Amino acid sequence: MEKEEFNKLKIKDQVEYINQKLDKKSLTEICKDINISRATIRKRFLKQGYEFNKIQNKYICSLELNNKEEEENKCNNNTKALEEKIQILESKIEAIENKLNNYNSRNIKKFEGKTVSRCYRLYEEVQKEFSKFCKENSNYKVQDILSMALYEYMKNNKHDN
C-alpha cells in the first residue's frame, strides 16, 4: 500500500491495517513499506485515542483501556459496599434471632411440693387472656404457670421494710 492510499483510509481502518501487518512485520518495517514516518503513525493514532500495547503488539483504543479500568474500579467498589451491607444484615439477623430466642424461651419454673386449692375472683378479660396463654403454652401445667406468675409478681413488687 502506498502512502497516499493509506492516508485516504479512515483512522480505524489505518489501525486495522497496521495491526494486521504487525502479525508478520515490525512497525518500522510496515512504515518503510508505506513510506511514512513511524512518529507520524504514533502521533496520528494517539490523537484519535489509540495507544500501542507492547504485550499484544498492536494498537488499542485507549478509551477501551480506561473504560475497562473504570469498570474494574466500579466492580471493586460495589463488591466492598455489598460486603459491608451483608455484614450489617448478618448482625441484624443475629440480633433478631436472639430476641426471638429470648421471647420463645419461657422461664416457667416447675414448682414441687404439696399443692393447695384456692378460689380467686378474676376479671373476665384477664381470665380469657390467661386461658389463651395456657393453651399456647400447653407444655406447662396451669398450676405451674399461675404459680410462676404470682411468684414473679411478688418478687418484683416486694417492699423491703
End position of a domain, from candidates 14, 48, 63: 63
Domain-located, residue 94: no
Contact between residue 36 and residue 43 where contact means Cβ atoms under 8 Å apart? no
DSSP 36: -
pTM listed for this prediction: 0.40
Q: Render pLDDT for 42-100 as a digit per residue (tens, 0 to 9).
A: 898 888 888 888 888 888 887 655 555 556 666 666 778 888 889 999 999 988 888 77
- The whole domain housing 38 covers 3-63
Contact between residue 105 and residue 140 where contact means Cβ atoms under 8 Å apart? no
Confidence band for 103, pLDDT divided at 50, 70 and 90: low
Domain-located, residue 77: no
Is 60 exceeded by the pLDDT of residue 105?
Answer: no
Domain-located, residue 73: no
Domain-located, residue 150: yes
End position of a domain, from candidates 63, 82, 114: 63
**DSSP character string of 83-149:** HHHHHHHHHHHHHHHHHHHHHH--------S----------HHHHHHHHHHHHHTTTS-HHHHHHHH
Number of domains in the chain: 2
Domain-located, residue 82: no
Helix H or strand E encompassing 46:
helix 38-47
pLDDT of 10 reads 92
Backbone φ and ψ for 24, nearest 5 degrees, come out as -115, -30
Domain-located, residue 7: yes
Q: Render pLDDT for 12-50 as a digit per residue (tens, 0 to 9).
A: 899 999 989 888 888 889 889 889 998 998 898 888 888
Which residues fall within 8 angstroms of residue 109, CB to CB, at 6 or more apart?
144, 147, 148, 151
Domain-located, residue 117: yes
Domain-located, residue 78: no
